[in-house]
């Protein structure tokens, strides 16, 4: 009889695990609560699907912070170069952008997903993968008596699902959980699985927002929020040093929101800012509005005689500070500070922005926390639940945007698939 494995979650991690298993001749059934496959994957690719990054392996691995060692272990089987090779095997050409990020040639997620699903449903070798949508996992099934046909019941791999036709039970030889984290609930990542695993003795860290925006201390003024929400701070830099001495300094851009800040530069620092807020109740980064110009030059330009021009006109003329850059100075400086050349110059180069809270996890691009690697074997099987494997964003790791999230999800799915094969006694 052909062995059957259930994969719960039709995102990149779950699909990769299914592909590894199907190629090895294992019957795979993929279940997902949503109506269609890869919804978060497709949405993430709307602005151009960032598959991975081309930077050197050591630098790439450093992006995973405290979980670097565990993620590097996954990359031994499936790394950034293999992501590109895998895409090529699906007929998807890739290119390296100016930032080093890797994209499909057409920048779209849908063609890649279509090609991937076609291969899973109609493989050249191995059984086709079966998909069951609108099937929401509701936990483990606990039958009252042993299964006469199959012998003693292994409840780890006997599962309950809610479906449009009513509840069903499914058995398998092994299970891969690829349930996502806690961000973007509308796309299926609800985090509902956390108490179920904890009840089974699995160590799970709380899910937290990652690559997220923040609310500023005391809020913006009504004028600033109404006038500048959605406007970008371009060609700026931010610096932050945590209470533990961890430092962040980078140039880039970010966006003002109605309640605070978000965008690529903020996301890059979000893990440090979030942890500081959790520990101290607030976090303050310093904004450099003119990172290409030293303080001495800024001060000289501020002090340059301006004649009958207003100070705002003077700043626009001499330093090209206008729009949202001028507005943030008016927002956060007193009238006395704004009219003092030394204090104004210092603020232009290092304006403190105090934050009071991360935005809700459902608004975050990704989440931190999840199943601890210490609760699993090297092949991602749960120590307390033999036959149950975990993959993707539900594991306890986080990374910045730039292809790192997707690469680690694919790598963990590949590793979980290999782990299942070893568990089933296959090569």
CATH, residue 46: 3.50.50.60
The predicted model gives 168-173 an average pLDDT of 95
Give the alpha-carbon dihedral of 237, 208, 181, 253, to 10 degrees: -10
Cβ neighbours of 155 (radius 10 Å): 14
Tokens (6 digits) for 97 = 């952008």
Give yes or no: residues 414 and 351 share one domain.
Answer: no
Cβ neighbours of 96 (radius 10 Å): 14
Give yes or no: residues 230 and 117 share one domain.
Answer: no
Measured between alpha carbons, how far is 224 from 229 in angstroms, rounded to an integer? 7
Residues with Cβ within 8 Å of residue 137, at least 6 apart in sequence: 8, 31, 33, 159, 160, 161, 179, 193
Strand, helix or coil for residue 355: strand
Is 426's pLDDT higher than 70? no
Give yes or no: residues 19 and 158 share one domain.
Answer: yes
Q: How many domains does the chain have?
A: 2
Q: Which of 314, 339, 358 is the last residue of a domain?
A: 358
Is 300's pLDDT higher than 60? yes
Q: Which helix (H) or strand (E) holds 57?
A: helix 57-62
Which has more pLDDT, 302 or 185? 302
Give yes or no: residues 141 and 246 share one domain.
Answer: no
Give yes or no: residues 226 and 192 share one domain.
Answer: no
Q: Which of 358, 380, 404 is the last residue of a domain?
A: 358
Q: Which of 358, 390, 407 is the last residue of a domain?
A: 358
Which has more pLDDT, 149 or 359? 359
Helix runs in 76-181, H state only: 80-89, 110-121
Q: Which helix (H) or strand (E) holds 238?
A: strand 232-241
The range of the structural domain enclosing residue 300 comes to 214-358
* CA-angle at 255, arms to 42 and 46, nearest 5°: 15
Q: Distance of CA 269 to CAs 46, 209, 357, 372, Å?
A: 23, 12, 14, 23
Structure confidence at residue 61 (pLDDT): 96
Give yes or no: residues 68 and 114 share one domain.
Answer: yes
Give yes or no: residues 200 and 274 share one domain.
Answer: no
Q: Are 32 and 194 in contact (CB under 8 A)?
A: no
Give yes or no: residues 194 and 157 share one domain.
Answer: yes
Is 40's pLDDT higher than 60? yes
> DSSP letter at 426?
-
Q: Which helix (H) or strand (E) holds 166?
A: strand 166-171
* CA-angle at 171, arms to 167 and 173, nearest 5°: 155
Q: pLDDT, tens digit, for every residue of 122-162?
A: 998 889 999 999 999 999 987 654 554 554 445 788 999 99
Buried b / exposed e over 164-202, threshold 16 CB at 10 Å, is eeeeeebbbbbbbbbbbbbbbeebbbbbebbebbeeeeb
Per-residue pLDDT band for 174 (boundaries 50, 70, 90) equals very high
pTM, 2 dp: 0.91
Give the alpha-carbon dihedral of 361, 367, 369, 371, to 10 degrees: 120
Q: Are 17 and 31 in contact (CB under 8 A)?
A: no
Is residue 363, in this structure, part of any structural domain at all?
A: no
């Amino acid at each position: 009889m052909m062995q059957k494995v259930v994969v719960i979650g039709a995102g990149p991690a779950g699909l990769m695990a299914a592909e590894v298993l199907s190629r090895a001749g294992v019957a795979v059934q993929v279940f997902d609560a949503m109506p269609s496959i890869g919804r978060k994957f497709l949405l993430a690719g709307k602005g151009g699907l960032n598959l991975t990054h081309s930077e050197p392996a050591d630098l790439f691995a450093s992006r995973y912070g405290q979980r670097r060692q565990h993620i590097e272990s996954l990359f031994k089987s499936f790394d950034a170069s293999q992501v590109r090779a895998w895409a090529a095997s699906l007929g998807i050409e890739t290119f390296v952008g100016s930032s080093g990020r890797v994209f499909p040639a057409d920048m779209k997620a849908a063609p890649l997903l279509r090609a991937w699903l076609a291969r899973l449903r109609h493989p050249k070798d191995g059984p086709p993968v079966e998909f069951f949508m609108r099937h929401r996992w509701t936990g483990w099934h606990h039958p009252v008596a042993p299964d006469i046909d199959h012998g003693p019941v292994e409840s780890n791999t006997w599962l309950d699902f809610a479906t449009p036709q009513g509840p069903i039970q499914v058995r398998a030889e092994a299970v891969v959980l690829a349930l996502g984290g806690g961000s973007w609930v509308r796309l299926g990542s609800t985090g509902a699985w956390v108490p179920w695993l904890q009840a089974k003795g699995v160590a799970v860290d709380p899910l937290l927002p990652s690559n997220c925006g923040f609310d500023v201390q005391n809020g913006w003024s009504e004028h600033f929020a109404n006038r500048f929400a959605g406007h970008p701070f371009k060609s700026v830099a931010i610096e932050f040093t945590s209470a533990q001495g961890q430092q962040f300094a980078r140039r880039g851009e970010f966006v003002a929101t109605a309640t605070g800040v978000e965008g690529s530069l903020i996301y890059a620092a979000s893990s440090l800012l979030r942890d500081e807020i959790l520990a101290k109740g607030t976090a303050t980064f310093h904004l450099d509005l003119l990172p290409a110009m030293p303080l001495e030059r800024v001060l000289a330009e501020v002090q340059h005689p301006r004649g009958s021009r207003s100070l705002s006109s003077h700043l626009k003329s001499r330093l090209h500070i206008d729009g949202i850059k001028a507005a943030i100075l008016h927002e956060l400086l007193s009238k006395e500070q704004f009219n003092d050349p030394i204090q104004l110059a210092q603020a232009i180069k290092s304006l403190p922005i105090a934050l009071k809270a991360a935005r809700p996890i459902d608004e975050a691009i990704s989440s931190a926390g999840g199943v601890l690697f210490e609760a699993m074997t090297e092949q991602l099987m749960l120590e307390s639940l033999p036959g149950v494997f975990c993959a993707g964003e539900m594991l306890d790791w986080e990374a910045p945007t730039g292809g790192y999230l997707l690469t680690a999800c694919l790598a963990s799915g590949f590793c979980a698939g290999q782990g299942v094969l070893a568990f089933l006694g296959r090569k």
